[in-house]
Chain A
Amino acid sequence: MSAMADKEAIENAKVLMVGAGGIGCELLKTLVLTGFKHIHVIDMDTIEVSNLNRQFLFRKRHVGQSKAQVAREAVLRFRPDVDIVAHHANVKSPQFGVGYFQQFNLVLNGLDNLDARRHVNRLCLAADVPLVESGTTGYLGQVTVHMKGTTECYECQPKPAPKTYPVCTITSTPSKPVHCIVWAKDLPFLKLFGDKSLSNDLDVRSSGADSSVEQEEASFFDVQDGESSKAYAARVFDRLFGQNIDIALKNEGAWKERRKPTPLYLDSIWTSEEKYDERADHGSENGHENGSVQEEKPKDDGAALSAMTGLGLKNPQEIWSVKDNARVFLETVRLFLDNRKEELGRLTFDKDDQLAVEFVTAAANLRANSFGIPMQTMFDVKGIAGNIIHAIATTNAIVAGLIVLEALKLLGKDRGASRMTYCLEHASRKLLLMPCEMDVPNPKCYVCSQTPLVLEVNTKTVTLRDVVNKIARKKLGASFPTIMQGYNVLCETGDDIDKHSAAIYEAKLDTKLDALTPVPLVNGVEITIEDLQQEFSCIVHVKHREDFSEEEDDQMRLGGLELLTATTTVVAKDTDVALKATVDVHAASLDEDLVMIDGENAPVVKRKLEERQEPSQKRLKT
């Protein structure tokens, strides 16, 4: 225990916990039991039923309330003398700036997304506060320690990029269930219920090469005058699963090497008797509970509506027949139109929206069926479409224990005692919990070592907005980016920008890079991308390039960052088992087109243990 803090150091320490979810609940409990007395908790989330299997500070009666606040109250029941400040807020909001971070001795992360992790990493570097970072999926977990100048920062090492799929795979040549699920979520769901004015990468090629069809496509998904919701559902069905496939089949070249898809029209699904039923009342296959759904009045809670229940389909773990998928499709469309009218045109996919999950399941399965791809259960579709992380209480408890041990070592000032620890599913060399030495900072890290980057970009086609959103925000993790060229501010974002400046910046955003004034961003120009709140700054060299492949449809590529986008599936050299390290599956945030996790049932990105260039750098501490 010599390396660890004494009682007094623990009691006087002030720690910040970011996240009061799976790891956070365990962490808060273990911190107070260990004797910590001054704790701030930040979490923007509210409690959901699916949290209750592991976030033990919450009960069913707390559903909908702030995680940070309920966690605080729950812990005070067994440790009333502890000073806990709960913030129901986003850690990225400006109130939590460098000044705020500087009041803490330690920052402990229990987060579930890459964005927030990167943001906190930068603030910890700026405030020079040690950070203990953590993550779990299923039985796997890891805890790492980041001290400015001593160990690597959170962003020194590559993070597996969320799996993305080429547009044409989704729109024309799916071969896996996940392709159909992405399609269902991003195409029909948004076309029917989402914001139709939003441009979508999938629009262009959604119906093959026929341009007249594209023209018509735009208005096709509008409900026509006098059209009943049932008639609309049937019309959309035939279009999505019948006509669109027939059109695609005309492009014969595409199917030389592939299995041809089979179009599916409603007429071919029902027997003549059922067809009659269908028009009458959407009879279910089992013939009972007919009509019960129709009589249902619009509910306040739209998320509770279900088509499958009304159709007598009770088991989300069962694969529905094609006919049942068709019924669910029709019924979900009808229910959205009849009962959730006010939300139409602005819906986005939400894994907790039952009707949305049912719709996506049915649409994905109907498409899968056409393409000869195995259909999936609703349970599995929900997991894939919603990027749901597998989570159990025990791993979170273990990881929280490991975080507190690292916290004790950091307070004990023996910085050499810090370790990164992996929590494994299958023991490696008898170890289930495997401590490793932390690496030193990566001199090529653009975050903690401020190494310049290279942006290869087609300056003739790419706009400043693309650079702000796709490079500064998404790739570089800036929450409120500022882009400078020398002393010229090209763009500034944030809450504190005055209207006049904001208008000027806004006007520039849609300008192509080579047309920007006073200095066009062309080959050889150097820009600086900053986030003032994060005290993050990065120099980027612009390099004009036009020969981007079809898959690089952004016409941009950030170099020196190869590591960040590496997707790796490698077995650790130093261990006997493949380690699926905990990673940011949630990085594939729901609003990003075509961003999906890998694998057909396991939303786990594999990352090898010794991903470093120098495997010898990381060794077991013996």
Chain B
Amino acid sequence: MAEPTSGLLTEQEAAVYDRQIRVWGVDAQRRLSKARVLVVGIYGVIAEACKNLVLAGIGSLTLMDDTPVTLDAAASNFLVYVDEIQNQGKSVAQVCADAVGDYNPMVRVQVQQGNILEKPIEFLDDYDVVILGRSSLSLRKKVNALCRSRPQRVAFYAVDVRSSCGNLFIDFQTCTFKSQKKDDDKELEYSKKTCSLEESLSVRWNSLPKRASKLFFATRIVDEFEQRENRQPGQLTSSDLPALIAFGTERLQEQGLAMVPAIESLLTKIAENGTFELSPVCAIMGGVLGQEVLKLLSCKGEPIQNYFFFDASDGKGMIEEVTP
């Protein structure tokens, strides 16, 4: 990798990255060029995030998803070119790596085969950030815990889009960053901490503010329901709806809350649409996720913590902090 050791960017970097250097500066760009990101499980929203990270010029992007590429994979994923589907035997990761690697030759894009839980634990030491696509709650907890177990910080992001709803969980552990909080303020250094997914899940729901995003509750209910019913994530249909709503009502009650129409309609939408990802929502969630990872890696700009939700039906993109 052509890494400038001095304070200078290469001519090519300066030319290609000109417009974004005007946003975040040369130092941030240099940090990005050394960052290593691992992505596990490739869906539409992940394709969006990969595109954004590669365009921005991170050092390396590693894709992990052995699923053989099919027409289904192409549905919401613009990294899957149709002529590749006939190329049987290629994995989604391989096809996407080829496509996204072509976006920016200054980024090393590669593929890792296998299952992240079966890798030696040192495997994660090669990465600064791990992004987990659609996954079961238990996988999310496990990978998050693995990230936290490493001596060097490995930041953890989990994202999913169900129908027109997007959710993002962030655990960067600690982060020191430079930020200009208001327009004409001086840029200062700040730091932030996040908790693990496990810790965040221990927060009682009725202790959250009244205006908390309803998507927080809906996604929790769906996660737990899928776990209890032993479903693959997204493997829901409208026939599950009565059981899902009953389960949700019960969970809300346990947490000191009651089922409300807004949550019920989110559950309905999620159950009825199964694995479907609405592409504009992928673009929005992949954009926010990409931006957050870039802020963290460049130490520039205040990163959000620790959840972000977007719901196309009300159009709000909302940050929710859920920490013990």
Q: Which residues of A contact B (CB under 8 A)?
A: 1, 3-4, 26, 29-30, 33-34, 49-50, 52-54, 56, 59-60, 77-80, 138-139, 314-317, 379, 383, 388-395, 397-398, 400-405, 408, 419, 421, 423, 425-427, 430-435, 577-578, 580, 606, 621
Contact = CB atoms under 8 A, between A and B. Distances in A.
Nearest to A435: B315
Contact of B20 (A54, A79, A427): A54
A398 B44 contact: no
Contacts, number: 180
A50 B279 contact: no
A59 B281 contact: no
Contact of B294 (A394, A435, A580): A394
Interface-centre pick from B83, B278, B308 (highest chain A CB count, 10 A): B278
Interface centre among A405, A408, A577 (most CB of B within 10 A): A405
15 contacts: A50-B18, A53-B19, A56-B103, A59-B102, A77-B82, A78-B80, A139-B291, A391-B20, A392-B20, A393-B51, A401-B281, A405-B312, A433-B318, A435-B314, A435-B315
Main secondary structure of the interface of A (DSSP, over half): mixed
Contact of A397 (B7, B48, B182, B313): B48
A49 B304 contact: no
Interface string B1-35: 00000011000001111111111101000000000
Contacts of A402: 280, 284, 315
B310 A433 contact: yes
Contact of B287 (A52, A138, A397, A577): A397
Contact of B81 (A56, A78, A400, A401): A78
B316 interface: yes
A315 B48 CA distance: 33
Contact of B22 (A3, A49, A314, A383): A383
Contacts of A401: 279-284, 287
A354 to B, nearest CB: 11
B26 A421 contact: no
Nearest to A606: B183
Nearest to A314: B8
Contacts of B18: 50, 53, 388
Interface residues of B, number: 67
Given A33-B78, A50-B19, A52-B104, A433 B51 contact: no
A439 B220 CA distance: 36
A393 B316 contact: no
Contacts of B196: none
A430 B48 contact: no
User: Considering the complex of A and B, which 10 residue pairs feature the smallest CB-CB distances, nearest first?
Assistant: A433-B317, A401-B283, A435-B315, A33-B279, A398-B287, A404-B280, A401-B284, A397-B287, A401-B280, A394-B291
A55 B174 CA distance: 32
B269 A1 contact: yes
Contact of B23 (A1, A4, A139, A317): A139
A34 B278 contact: yes
A583 to B, nearest CB: 14
A53 B16 contact: yes
A53 B320 contact: no
A323 to B, nearest CB: 21
